[in-house]
Amino acid sequence: MLHHSLSPLLELSMSEQLHTPLQDAFVQPVRDVDDLRLAEAMLDTNCTMAIDTETTGLDYHDEIRLIQFGTARGAFVFDPDEFPSLFDELMQRLTSGGVWIMHNAPFDSLHLANKWNVDVDRVMQHVTDTQILSHLIDPREKIDGGIGHGLKQLCATYVDTNSPDGQQALKQRFKQLGFNLNEGFAKVPIWDETFVMYAGLDVILTARLFPILKEQIKDSFAHLVEFEHQVQRISTGMTQRGMTVDVSYTAMLLHDLQEEKEQAERSAARLGVANVNSTAQVAEALQIRGVQLTEKTPSGNWKVDKKVLEDLEDDELAQSVLGAKGASKAMSSWVQPILDHGLLDGTVHPRIRTLAARTSRMSIANPPLQQLPSNDHRIRTCLTASAGKTLVACDFKQIEFRVLAALANEQTMINAIINGEDLHDTTAARLFGSDFTSQHRKIAKSVGFGVVYGGGKDTLARQAGVSTLDAEKAIASFERNFPRVQRWKRSLIDKCTHGEPLVILPTGREIPLERKYGYRSVNYMVQGLAAEIFKGSLVELHNAGLGDHLLVPVHDEIISEVEETDAEEFAQTLIKTMSGELQSVPIDADAEVIGRSWGDAYLMKETINV
């Protein structure tokens, strides 16, 4: 129901008030003193309000152009540089209490916090993110049969099938003005009617979406709402804190990679490949050199992907193509973005998505630090601890397999964990005997991951470098030696294939899946619970007063920094805080004092392997 004190706002007939496609809703640009007073009156109502920003772009350092706030019935849009008093009043209200709604809260909160020069946690502490609510209700993207988590997608389902698509209207407007989408947000006139309407509609739609999603949250996982908001605040704090960039080293590495790329391209050209990105050229040149290609893509072309080329370790052309493409990817995906950030404030600020996957696993973008190559220390060396500090890494020991052992109650695995054994060694010994080789261990490890991630004999054969028959035998041996894992796995798959196609984690989180893909339920259960444990450890670290030391989460590892003199003690604190039990299975963490550069640990591993 509309708050009575908002009624006069709807009865106004000011010339600049924009009438929206939504019934009984207005968008009001704040352009003069009268508009300012009305906006302040809206704030005085203390209603549940949505808030949003329009920025010059999507990067961390891009600037705010407009801020909009309002309810399901109306939104005010203003330029914070033109009306700083309104911005200050809005931020005072936002950080003091009440109920505030955002869609994709980390993005807007970071820009608001940086504009107001405060820690982002202050901005987010009273915010509910409708994107989190939507993910808890249905974590699937639209392509996977879900609704998706975009504002337009959600509103078309929950609010009104005819909800206006402001994004599409804005694209058309940018095109009229001669701008592409990337430059349009920075160059469109700030008071362009389409731009302002788009800004205001996002607030109104978010405000209308919120109570509907809130009603959809089941009691069985209502506690996850607060949990995910805690994790989101901690992770957004990491983005704002950032990680120090060694700018001079990064610039030098960029130059070196460019030279490597050009040299590899010259080598490939000499061997018959003018364009290393042309799979047809690469396949033809390899065949001329006598290489027997065995796999084809769905379109019928010869497969010459990274795995195929890596297996041709003695072929000069294959290695030249790999080198050129690897250097190019390193430059564009990581080194150049890190340098761009570093040149602005000496720090990289990666965006951390806390609900990136259906299983609720996290991911990192801008730049994607989770995808850094593990066999090349040079890119991580771009990132360092702050002056006088050292980096410390802490991760879980074989978390997926410990979760699997707990869920299946597989006593052989549990005993091995309790006794401090390496699970891959235990598996290899069970499969191949106590005198197993390193190749046997590799196969055993691949079989275990195959169970977790749903890989079959063909995948195992390719990953372990063995025949399909040997892979099939290894899988059969695994099933015989760990019967409870097989029974648990089969029971879960049968339930999702023939019963309700839904994975329910012990925490209550629900992960729907398509019935024909019931085999994926094992992966969803194991990966989902492992993600819950990792996120829970972030909350524990934050609650223990260690939050300000956390820099970036990478898979099941947290990178942090601390004063050099406190590093060893801090590492032990991380281990103690992150370790625990899942049922009767120990969940152990391991910490390492890395040093000044993130690459130091990887350089050491590369040296040992050599």
Tell me the average confidence (pLDDT) per consecutive run of 10 residues in the chain, 610 residues long.
47 62 88 94 92 96 97 96 97 95 98 98 98 97 92 92 81 92 92 94 96 94 96 98 98 98 96 94 93 87 89 92 96 97 97 94 94 90 96 94 94 91 87 88 85 78 78 85 92 94 95 93 95 97 96 95 96 96 94 94 63
Q: Cα–Cα distances in Å, from 205 out to 78, 103, 356, 550, 596? A: 18, 10, 23, 35, 47
pLDDT at 18: 81
pLDDT at 4: 44
End-to-end CA distance of the chain: 70
Q: Could you give the CA distance from residue 12 to residue 138 in angstroms, rounded to a whole number?
A: 40
- Residue type (1 letter), 530: A
Residue of 131, 135, 106, 134 whose CA lies nearest to 121: 106
Residue of 245, 164, 146 whose CA lies nearest to 200: 164
459-497 pLDDT, tens digit per residue, is: 777 777 778 888 888 888 888 888 999 999 999 999 999
pLDDT at 12: 47
Q: Could you give the CA distance from residue 603 to residue 394 in angstroms, rounded to a whole number?
A: 18
Question: Helices 423-432 and 399-408 meet at what angle, rounded to 10?
Answer: 60
Residues with Cβ within 8 Å of 550's Cβ and at least 6 positions away in sequence, in order, are 234, 237, 238, 241, 538, 541, 542, 558, 559, 560
Q: Residue 145: left if φ>0, alpha if ψ -120 to 50, beta else—which one?
A: left
CA 549 to chain centre: 20
Output phi, psi for 391, to 5 deg. -85, 145
pLDDT at 160: 87
Q: Could you give the CA distance from residue 332 to residue 338 in angstroms, rounded to a whole number?
A: 10
Residues with Cβ within 8 Å of 348's Cβ and at least 6 positions away in sequence, in order, are 242, 243, 245, 337, 338, 341, 342, 367, 383
Structure tokens at 220: 């069985």
CA 161 to chain centre: 29
Structure tokens at 222: 């209502």
**587, containing H or E segment:** strand 585-587
pLDDT at 606: 59
178-224 pLDDT, tens digit per residue, is: 998 889 999 999 999 999 999 999 999 999 999 999 999 999 889 99
Output phi, psi for 241, to 5 deg. -65, -45
- The pTM is what? 0.92
